[in-house]
A and B are shown apart, each in its own frame.
Chain A
Amino acid sequence: MANVKTSRRHFMAAAGASSLVLPVFEAFTPQKAQAQMFENARQLITYYTANGVPGQENFFPRGGTPTNFTLGPILSPLEPHKQDLLIVEGLDSRAAMDAGGDPHGVGFATTLSGRKAVPGGEFKHGACFNDMSGKPCPSTGLGGGPSLDIEVGQAHVAAKVVPIGSLNYSVKTAQKPDLYTYLSYSAPGVPVNPESDPLRAFNRVFKALGGDPTVSDAQAARLKARGKSVLDELGGEFDLLMTQVSQTDRARLQQHQDAMRNLEKKVDLLTTVVVGGSCKVPIAPQDLGPGPAVVRNAGGMEDKNAAGDHGDIELRQDIYRGMIIAALACGLTRVGTLATSFSRADTYLSFLPYNGLPIQSAHHAMSHGEGENPNEKLIVVNNWYALKFGQFIDQLKSTMGPTGEPLFKTAGIFWCNELATGGHTHNNKPHLVAGTMGGYLKNGLHHTYPKGTPHNVLLTALAKGAGLATDHIGDTEYQGQDLTPLLA
């Protein structure tokens, strides 16, 4: 194998490396300038819950002024954090509305990307939200481009300031690789698989830091050396093979090799992280296995009973939250995405009581009116998610970050949803941010945008808050909105 030793980077440059999965920013942004912008650590967390809310009036403040507001029923558990919140009303997911296709699916794909799903793909869905003609909606492919979390994370990795671009966790595992499954994307049609096995998630991030007491320092060093040299040699195998296959096949291998390069960077940088100070390796979680696996039927609906025991969803959420915060504190990454489920999920939250009785209906079913008093029950459900969101804030406040100040001072946590309401709308979605991202965003504010404003403006504010050198997040047709009302 004559060219095993040849650097594949050299080869790729010479052969005109495909831009298939290369992070887009590399092409536009001088890395040096971007690296300077990342000097001050800022953290971006996204927290996703499904199925819209039972009416905007139950989510947004009603009464009061923009800076002295009364929280609505859903957000009432956040009363102690009122001054930590930036509540943004009036934003539409325009990209979801313009893409057509299934509302839960395209809504999910546009929530963090602000991009229309790839048109004309495999995903056909009858339930059309923006066309009441009764005709089936146009079909779409997967999401239309990189999502906010991945774009910010990849820029950090490219700037070599952190080893891991982002942590992407999902409490539940979807079993079908479709639009309902993926919140995050790295490129058009290229989804990011969320990790759903807590122990494996832990091992992937913390094992190399000594999180596993059975691994000695010498072993860890050996593991790293072996991993790196093996990756290097494999690069040679890929290089050679790529000269022997067709162009289409070469693109497949290129995608694989790009992922290997990301991994290599991570392996490389992991050991530069010093445990100690703000960086504390959490205790390894118990082995819960992959999240409650769910089989959905042909129409995409989650079947009743399919989810089985949902008893550990809170535990899983707590584990992922703890790992995201620990990784942020260690400077392993600056981006974490915690999805409480995939979209359209029929999560059973029977541990929550309504009128003293367990809520037995599933989340998505209730959003379509199943059972008695579904909206009241959904307020209880969303109260619980608000409570968990508040715990995120608390933990960020009590954890020191790499800068030596509490993480909450430098972080922003964004609560998002694939829909506005259970009625499949994308108008005036429930958007909430906590934290100023180092004084960039206003807190203690309920700002209302004019009706019909694309939510890309908020995505852009979050990206800039995280230090990304960008003027806009998402499809360009949604740019040009004024983000200054959100800024401190």
Chain B
Amino acid sequence: MTHSSPQKTPLHRTVSVVGSVALVALLVAACSSGDDVSKPAAPAATVPPPPSASTGPGAMIIPDPPVVIVDPTKEQCDGAGVFPGRTPLRRLALNEYDSSIADLLGVDVFVDGKAPSLGLVIDTSAGGFLNNADVTTTSDLHVENFYNTALALAESARVKGKFALPCAAMGAVCAEQFVRDFGLRAFRRPLSQDEVTSYTARFAAGSMGATFEEGLEWVVGRMLQSPHFLYRVELETSGAGPGVVKPLSGYSIATRLSYFLWQTTPDAMLLSAAADGTLDTKEGVAAMVEKMIQTDRFEATLRSFHDQWLDVRSVAEKSKEATIDPPWDSNLKLDLIEEIERFSREVYESGGSFTELMTANWSFLTPRLAAHYGAVHPNPAAAEEWARVEVPHRHGLLTMAGFTASHSSANQSNVAKRGAWLRNQLLCTEIGAPPVNPTNGEPIVAPPKVPGETTAERFKKHSSDPACFGCHTLIDPLGLPFEYYDEFGRYRDMDEGQPVSAPGEFTGTSAAGTPFEGPEAFATGFAKLPEAQSCIVSNWFRYGMGRTEAASGGDRCTMTRQLKRFSASGQNLKDLIVGLATSDAFRFRMEVADAPLPPPPAGQQ
């Protein structure tokens, strides 16, 4: 693997003792080259481990005593130490909750065909993504919905005969087998013996004076509300003390991979890979990621990632004033969304690079889209047929009409909207919404159209006010190159009867000071921008880890290593995902350095 460095001297800068609660981020370097350490397959039913377990399965790589590093240096990040960063407990995001239940029981158990979480206000986002563990809250409405959903779907599954039984539907033995089988799938790991006992008792209570299947219904109704279903519980570092790093079990890795790459609960293949030790090595995980990316299920991740990062679907909500042919209707808008999905999927799956993503002169089009773009479709009569074709005047993802039209006004292209979007989303810098107009206190709007004056000219005047200039210097030079696309995202070389002038510059970046003209130069230059490359790596990190990367601690190492790897691979996008899924942040777990829990009251354990 690209970033596993040759053996280096182990890290020895002991700066604090373990257990100091004041330390914000404690990091432990495994004295052996932890990144490549493999561990034996986790025996079945080791989870949850008792909090006091410090020996036994899963504890074999802890250095003794642990070497604690507060904040690894650049050199240490270059070394082989294991620096996973922190791992907050993640509740299933609502889309993950829905898809997991669909996988466990089948979509036809959904009451009235509604996805269980439908209508719940979506989870809070942070760092751009809805799966951010740090801001996920669980309200009364959530819990009540989990409760009603679990009971209703368990009943629906019974009525519809959806309990896959491993045995003849009778007797406690078969029920226990169901508890183990369904529990494995719902909790994404084998149940402990205590859990099997408790859930088998639930079955017994439920089937008393009722049918066998009704007993199972009680089991399912409880499991779907269990914290072990609703949360991605990882107990590998439980009780290990702050700063202690441990490898994740195969089951935890399978769960992480499944939600990261498939947006749903692990399937039988992943669970068996977890059981047989396949996921205990970096190579095993890498091979699994490659395999998972090639399946249709990866589409769910690409779609959700791009929707959240780039707001792909927003074009569906945009109305325009002018009338065009083909018409600006939902057929066209949905095609524009699907174009972005098909294109990005092809780039990722085919092993394409960030440069390819940003500069490709090809795309997938329907005849309708081909007409919109002025491209040639091989089978124009087949209205809904997608074909990969060359598209004139297009240079990668950002020039697609789905984006250029979305970041326009209803009656004109919009330099500032396009530029601010690029600055915020694609360069990961924060430009807030415009301040109010100082004269009337109202939000500032785009300069109105003036016959004979190009959009570029009007925006230039608009932004020349000294009060506006500071921000617009960072915004407009990114938006201007896109002036070759009108408010529908169609190519143009004339605007208001004048030739389009679209001078751009990557202001506020390492490539500032070199002006260029037009979208092709933009795309080529943008693909090379370190800020842009780092931004896509950051976004995948946030999406994959469910948190925003910190500038220090283990995250600094992860980002440094991933950027290095991204660069070495020629910005290969598939390898970026493999890299993140095999990183320390993904494969290891560190107990965070907050105060340990008070011991349970006497008599409880």
Q: Nearest chain-A residue to B603 (Cβ)? A: A6
A227 interfacial by beta-carbon distance below 8 Å: yes
Q: List the B side residues contacting A136 at CB < 8 Å.
A: 432-433, 435
Q: In the complex, what's the smallest C-beta–C-beta distance from B360 to chain A, in angstroms?
A: 26
Contact A230 B221 (CB under 8 A): yes
A191 to B198, Cβ gap below 8 A?
A: no
B65 within 8 A of A: no
A252–B225 touching, CB < 8 Å: no
Are B194 and A289 touching (Cβ within 8 A)? Answer: no
- Neighbouring B residues of A176 by C-beta, 8 Å: 122, 125
> Which single residue of chain A is at the shortest CB-CB distance from B126?
A122
How far does the Cβ of A152 sit from chain B's closest Cβ, in whole Å?
15
Closest to B135 in A: A122
Contact with A along B407-442 (1 / 0, CB 8 A): 000100000000011001000001011111010011
Give which listed residue, A124, A127, A134, A238, contacts B438 with CB less than 8 A.
A134
Q: What is the 8 Å Cβ interface bit string for chain A, positions 243-283, against chain B (1 contact, 0 not)?
A: 11111111011011001101100100000000000000000
- Establish whether residues B435 and A230, one from each chain, have CB atoms under 8 Å apart when the complex forms: no
Query: How distant is A166 from chain B, measured CB to nearest CB, in Å?
Result: 10
Are A295 and B314 also in contact (CB < 8 A) when A4-B198, A126-B433, A245-B89 are? yes
Which residues of the partner chain A approach B319 to less than 8 Å between Cβ atoms? 303-305
Given contacts A136-B432, A244-B235, A247-B597, contact A192 B139 (CB under 8 A): yes
B112 interfacial by beta-carbon distance below 8 Å: yes
Complex CA–CA separation, A244 to B91 (angstroms): 16
Whether the Cβ atoms of A1 and B194 lie closer than 8 Å is yes
Contact B433 A125 (CB under 8 A): yes
Q: Which of B226-234, B256-264, B365-373, B532-540 contacts A (4 or more CB under 8 A)?
A: B226-234
Query: Which residues of chain B (564-605) have a CB below 8 Å from chain A?
Result: 591-592, 594-598, 600-601, 604-605
Q: Is A227 within 8 A of B48, CB to CB?
A: no
* B-side contacts of A122, CB under 8 Å: 126, 135
Interface segment out of the listed A9-17, A48-56, A310-318, A434-442: A9-17
A235 to B197, CA, bound (A): 16
Q: Does A484 contact B (CB under 8 A)?
A: no
> Nearest chain A CB to B98's CB is how many angstroms away?
14
Whether A248 touches B122, Cβ cut-off 8 Å, given contacts A124-B432, A126-B436, is no
B438's nearest neighbour on chain A, judged by CB, is: A134
Complex-state Cα separation, A368 to B421, whole angstroms: 24
How many Å lie between the Cα of A255 and that of B114 in the bound state?
A: 27
Interface-facing stretch out of B31-39, B144-152, B298-306: B144-152
Q: Which of A61-119 contact B (CB under 8 A)?
A: none
Check: A297 CB closer than 8 A to any chain B CB: yes
Pair B121/A194 contact, Cβ less than 8 Å: yes
A253 touches B227 (CB 8 A): yes
- Say yes or no: A259 contacts B143, CB within 8 Å: yes
Asked whether A347 is an interface residue with its Cβ less than 8 Å from the other chain, the reply is no
In the assembled complex, the Cα of A10 lies from the Cα of B148 at a distance in Å of 27
Complex contact A244–B48 (CB within 8 A): yes
Q: Shortest distance in angstroms between A164's beta carbon and chain B's nearest beta carbon?
A: 10
Interfacial residues of chain A within 1-60, with CB under 8 A of chain B in the complex:
1-4, 6, 10-11, 14-16
A298-B441 contact in complex given A191-B139, A245-B89, A263-B147, C-beta closer than 8 Å: no
A200 adjacent to chain B (CB < 8 Å)? yes
Interface residues of B in 88-118 (CB under 8 A from A): 88-89, 91, 112, 114, 118
Tell me the complex Cα distance, A429–B497, Å: 50
Q: Name the CB-closest residue of A to B239.
A: A244
Q: Contact at A192–B441, with CB atoms within 8 Å?
A: no
Chain B: CB-nearest residue to A170: B121
Question: Is there contact, CB below 8 Å, between A259 and B140?
Answer: yes
Whether B313 pairs with A295 at a CB distance below 8 angstroms is yes
Check: A418 CB closer than 8 A to any chain B CB. Answer: no
**Any A CB within 8 A of the CB of B238:** yes
Smallest CB-CB separation from A13: which chain B residue?
A: B601
Whether A127 pairs with B435 at a CB distance below 8 angstroms is yes
Which residues of B lie under 8 Å from residue A368 when comparing CB positions? 442-443
Q: How distant is the Cα of A248 from the Cα of B134 in the complex, in angstroms? A: 10
Tell whether, in the assembled complex, residue B598 and residue A16 are in contact, meaning their CB atoms are under 8 Å apart.
Answer: yes
Query: Is the CB–CB distance between B119 and A197 below 8 Å?
Result: yes
- State whether A260 and B226 are in contact (beta carbons under 8 Å apart), knowing that A127-B443, A204-B148, A247-B594 are contacts in the complex: no
Is there a chain B Cβ closer than 8 Å to A132's Cβ?
Answer: yes
Indicate whether A287 reaches chain B with its CB closer than 8 angstroms. Answer: yes
- Asked if residues B141 and A192 are in contact (CB atoms below 8 Å), the reply is yes
Q: Which residue of A lies closest to B233 (CB)?
A: A241
Q: Is B75 among interface residues, defined by CB-CB distance under 8 A?
A: no
Instruction: Tell me the smallest distance from the CB of B392 to a CB of chain A, in Å.
Output: 29
Using Cβ atoms and an 8 Å threshold, which residues of chain B touch A158?
A: none
Contact B591 A246 (CB under 8 A): yes
Whether B436 lies near A177 (C-beta < 8 A) is no
Q: What is the distance, in angstroms, from B135's C-beta to the closest C-beta of chain A?
A: 8
Interchain nearest-CB distance for A219 vs B (Å): 10
Given known contacts A16-B598, A234-B226, A245 and B151 CB-to-CB distance under 8 angstroms: no
Bound Cα distance A2, B197 (Å) = 11
Q: How many Å from the CB of B337 to the closest CB on chain A?
A: 13
A295 near B139: Cβ-Cβ < 8 Å: no
**Total interface residues in chain A, CB < 8 Å:** 92
- Cα A182 to Cα B432 with chains together (Å): 22
- Find the residue from B140, B142, B231 having the highest chain A CB count within 10 A: B140
Q: For the complex, give the distance between the alpha carbons of A132 and B597 in Å.
A: 49
Cross-interface CB contact of A255 among B137, B194, B420, B435, cutoff 8 Å: B137
Of the candidates B144, B227, B314, the one whose C-beta lies within 8 Å of that of A297 is: B314
A111 vs B388: C-alpha distance when bound (angstroms): 54
Against A, the Cβ 8 Å flags (1 = close, 0 = not) of B172-190 are: 0000000000000000000
Contact A247 B595 (CB under 8 A): yes
Instruction: Tell whether, in the assembled complex, residue A245 and residue B238 are in contact, meaning their CB atoms are under 8 Å apart.
Output: yes
Given contact pairs A4-B198, A174-B121, A247-B594, A124 touches B433 in the complex (Cβ within 8 A): yes
B467 an interface residue at 8 Å Cβ cutoff?
yes
Indicate which residue in A129, A230, A289 contacts B222 across the interface (CB closer than 8 Å).
A230
* B46: Cβ under 8 A from any A Cβ: no
CA distance A2 to B601 in the complex (A): 13
- Of all chain B residues, which has the CB nearest A253? B227
Chain B stretch 422-475: residues in CB contact (< 8 A) with chain A = 424, 430, 432-436, 438, 441-443, 467
A451 in contact (CB, < 8 A): no
Q: Which of B337-372 contact A (CB under 8 A)?
A: none
**What 1/0 mask marks residues of chain A from 385 to 421 whose CB sits below 8 Å from any chain B CB?**
0000000000000000000000000000000000000
- Which of A234, A244, A291 sits near B238, CB closer than 8 Å? A244
Tell me the complex Cα distance, A200–B238, Å: 39
Contact residues in B for A2 (Cβ distance below 8 Å):
194, 604-605
Given A127-B436, A263-B144, A247 contacting B596 (CB threshold 8 A):
yes
A289-307 interface (Cβ within 8 A of B): 289-291, 295, 297-300, 303-306
Q: Which residues of B contact A1 (CB under 8 A)?
A: 192, 194-195, 197-198
Residues of chain A contacted by B221 (CB below 8 angstroms): 226, 230
Name the one of A10, A177, A200 contacting B123, with C-beta atoms under 8 angstroms: A177
- Across the interface, which residues of A come within 8 angstroms of B433, CB to CB? 124-127, 136, 298-300
Chain A's closest residue to B424 (CB) is: A298
Contact A246 B594 (CB under 8 A): yes
What CA separation (Å) do A263 and B142 show in the bound complex? Answer: 11
- Chain A hits for B141, CB < 8 A: 192-193, 195
Please encode chain A, from 190 to 214, with 1 for each CB lying within 8 Å of some chain B CB and 0 for all others. Answer: 1111111101100110000000000
Closest to B228 in A: A237
Would A200 and B604 be within 8 Å (CB), given that A128-B435, A249-B88, A295-B314 are in contact? no
Given contacts A237-B226, A243-B605, A298-B421, 14 further A-B contacts (CB under 8 A): A124-B432, A125-B432, A204-B148, A226-B206, A230-B151, A230-B222, A243-B600, A246-B594, A248-B592, A249-B89, A290-B119, A291-B119, A303-B317, A369-B442
Q: List 18 A-B contacts (CB under 8 A).
A: A3-B604, A126-B435, A132-B438, A134-B436, A137-B435, A176-B125, A177-B130, A191-B139, A192-B140, A226-B218, A227-B147, A244-B238, A263-B144, A266-B144, A287-B112, A297-B314, A303-B319, A305-B317
Q: Which 4 residue pairs spanning A and B have beta carbons closest together?
A: A290-B119, A126-B433, A259-B143, A1-B194
